[in-house]
């Protein structure tokens, strides 16, 4: 579907000329002859971007219209245009949220470059919002463990500052969630939060992705492209897996951090950007710098405030609330109730989760989709927890294969499984679970405490 551009100008010939240019380039267009008409057309046309004239007698003028447009459609980028603008008008338009200010007489290349840049920014913001919603960024820091409480307190202290942050932690611990929380609690919250997965970008395209390129800068560069630094201007740039950047990219990143200036590939004009950089890695960058794989001067620049996220196995108290959080999200998506009974929660709580929170979210999603009933039991959990081929996820050897394991550890895991399944069958009733296990309630409580299993608060956990 082609992007739709709303052209707002009191001069019919300007609307006709720009409309013909855009349609020839594959855009859809809508027109409005003034500010009031633009606001009316906004709903019916649902534009992806707006070209807005500054002077539109008898009024309202472009700045007043811009302010109203940003109130009604804050995510739609607006490119201002005028032949009589002064610096004060341009500054005010920028403060009101204009993406760019074009001077008349307009040039085809100027219009197209501005609109494509505005649309690219809009797409990036929309994709970031989609990812944030998919990952639960609206309420990311779920859990009541001491580690999570300390993490929240640290974020509250560092978010209002401009200091760079280096987030470390194993894959799947939620480094992007923490970066998003820092951004949302900062003075930059209303500006873009742009994510870059350094490991996912081909090495020969890193500079283009980060800093942008001009038309003709290399084979295939058919138009100007804004880099992630420009897209994040005024906001936060999150560099995930920063340890995977190659030597050339590291050198250029260091230069940007030192100067605040970028240059697009093939460009000659320096561009000043105001970006807070938050980096993340699952690597030991200190060791990497000692071995010559990562620049130590870049590490010093990035690691102003270190933030470590504990793996899920170090904070098992967070597993039940995380399960409820992910189950609620799946219930909303599936339009039906999704609950985990006490035994299911106990079994999930004792699994070591090598893939951390991401793995837990995937398992909860799988169980929610496959469940035949609204309440998921320990039996169902045991069927989907991963195995390593020689040992079940609960520690017992499988299929006749052998792997060394301490007898006490294997017995503890087996006992946890039996208790969790009994609690599921008893719908969380400890006395009934004890009866099914042919023991008394006091003994079952003692065994649960020894194994680190919490007594269920209710049937759903």
pLDDT of residue 406: 66
pLDDT of residue 254: 94
In the chain, which stretches have pLDDT less than 70?
85, 125-140, 387-406, 409-410, 452, 454-461
Q: Give residue 221's Cα distance to chain centre.
A: 28
CB contact at 8 A, 353 and 359? yes
Please give the model's pTM, rounded to 2 decimal places: 0.62
pLDDT of residue 397: 46
Q: What are phi and psi of 79, to 5 degrees?
A: -105, 120
Q: Give residue 122's Cα distance to chain centre.
A: 16
pLDDT of residue 136: 46
Neighbours of 366 (CB within 10 A): 12
CA nearest neighbour of 230 among 389, 61, 100, 354: 100
CA nearest neighbour of 209 among 145, 247, 243, 252: 252
pLDDT of residue 455: 65
pLDDT of residue 71: 84
CB contact at 8 A, 368 and 356? no
pLDDT of residue 140: 63
What DSSP assignment string belongs to 374-438?
SEE-HHHHHHHS---SSB-TTS-B-TT------HHHHHHHHHHHHHHHHHHHTTT-HHHHHHHTT
Q: Please, what are the domains in the chain?
A: 4-119 (3.40.50.2300), 135-310 (3.40.50.300), 314-451 (1.10.8.60)
């Amino acid at each position: 579907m082609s992007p739709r551009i709303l052209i707002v100008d009191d001069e019919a010939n300007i609307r006709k000329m720009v409309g013909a240019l855009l349609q020839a380039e594959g855009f859809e267009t809508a027109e409005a002859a003034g500010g009031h008409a633009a606001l009316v057309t906004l709903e019916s046309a649902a534009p992806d971007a707006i070209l807005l004239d500054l002077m539109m007698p008898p009024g309202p003028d472009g700045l007043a219209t811009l302010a109203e447009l940003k109130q009604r459609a804050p995510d739609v980028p607006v490119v201002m245009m005028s032949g009589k603008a002064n610096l004060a008008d341009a500054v005010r338009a920028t403060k009101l949220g204009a993406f760019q200010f074009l001077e008349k007489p307009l040039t085809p290349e100027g219009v197209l470059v501005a609109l494509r840049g505005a649309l690219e920014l809009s797409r990036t913001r929309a994709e970031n919002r989609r990812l944030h919603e998919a990952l639960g960024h609206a309420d990311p820091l779920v859990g009541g463990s001491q580690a999570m409480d300390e993490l929240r307190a640290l974020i509250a202290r560092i978010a209002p500052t401009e200091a760079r942050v280096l987030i470390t932690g194993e894959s799947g611990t939620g480094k992007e969630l923490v970066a998003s929380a820092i951004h949302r609690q900062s003075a930059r919250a209303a500006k873009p939060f742009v994510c870059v997965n350094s490991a996912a970008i081909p090495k020969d395209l890193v500079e283009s992705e980060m800093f942008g390129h001009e038309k003709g800068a290399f084979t295939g560069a058919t138009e100007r492209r804004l880099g992630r630094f420009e897209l994040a201007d005024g906001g936060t740039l999150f560099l995930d897996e920063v340890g995977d950047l190659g030597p050339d990219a590291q050198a250029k990143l260091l230069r940007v951090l030192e100067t605040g200036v970028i240059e697009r590939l093939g460009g000659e004009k320096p561009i000043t950007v105001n970006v807070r950089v938050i980096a993340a890695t699952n690597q030991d960058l200190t060791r990497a710098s000692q071995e010559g794989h990562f620049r130590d001067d870049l590490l010093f620049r990035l690691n102003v405030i270190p933030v470590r996220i504990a793996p899920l196995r170090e904070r098992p108290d967070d597993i039940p609330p995380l399960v409820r959080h992910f189950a609620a999200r799946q219930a909303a998506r599936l339009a039906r109730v999704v609950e985990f009974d006490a035994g299911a929660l106990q079994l999930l709580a004792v699994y070591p989760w090598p893939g951390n929170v991401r793995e837990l979210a995937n398992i909860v999603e799988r169980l929610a989709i496959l469940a035949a009933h609204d309440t998921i039991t320990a039996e169902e959990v045991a069927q989907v927890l991963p195995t390593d081929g020689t040992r079940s996820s609960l520690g017992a050897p499988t299929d006749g294969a052998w792997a060394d394991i301490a007898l006490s550890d294997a017995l503890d895991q087996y006992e946890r499984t039996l208790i969790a399944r009994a609690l599921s069958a008893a719908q969380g009733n400890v006395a009934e679970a004890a009866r099914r296990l042919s023991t008394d309630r006091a003994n079952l409580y003692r065994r649960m405490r020894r194994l680190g299993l919490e007594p269920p608060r209710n049937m759903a956990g």
